[in-house]
Amino acid sequence: MQQLTVAQIGSQLAQWRAEGRRPVLLDVREPWECETASIREPDLDLRAIPMQQIPERLSELPADEPVLVLCHHGMRSLQVALFLDRQGYPHVFNIMGGIDAWSHLIDPSVPRY
């Protein structure tokens, strides 16, 4: 499991694109949070699965693509990223600062809450 800042995501996406990979953005926030603010990035395969449902929905996540885990500030996503790492997912990345950092540093059109 690795940590990524929102500032690092752009260069990492460019590298994956060059390799022909399409990473999954796993949003582990609650549905109301996803409705409030979401990331729209065409190079990412967005999957919204609340944190509590991850163990029962592991089959929805590819083991052969990078999985970037996102929450509001980075704490829930860190827990999920560590869990996925323990389950044998080899390419897991926690997005430090979460969607709040994304809104603040990358795309201010994403609402902050």
The answer to whether 79 touches 52, Cβ cutoff 8 Å, is no
Catalytic residue chosen out of the listed positions 71, 78, 81, 101:
71
> Inter-axis angle of helices 6-18 and 98-105, to 10 degrees?
90
Tokens encoding 104: 């603040």
Q: Catalytic annotation on 34? A: no
Number of Cβ within 10 Å of residue 112's Cβ equals 13
| Active-site residue list | 71
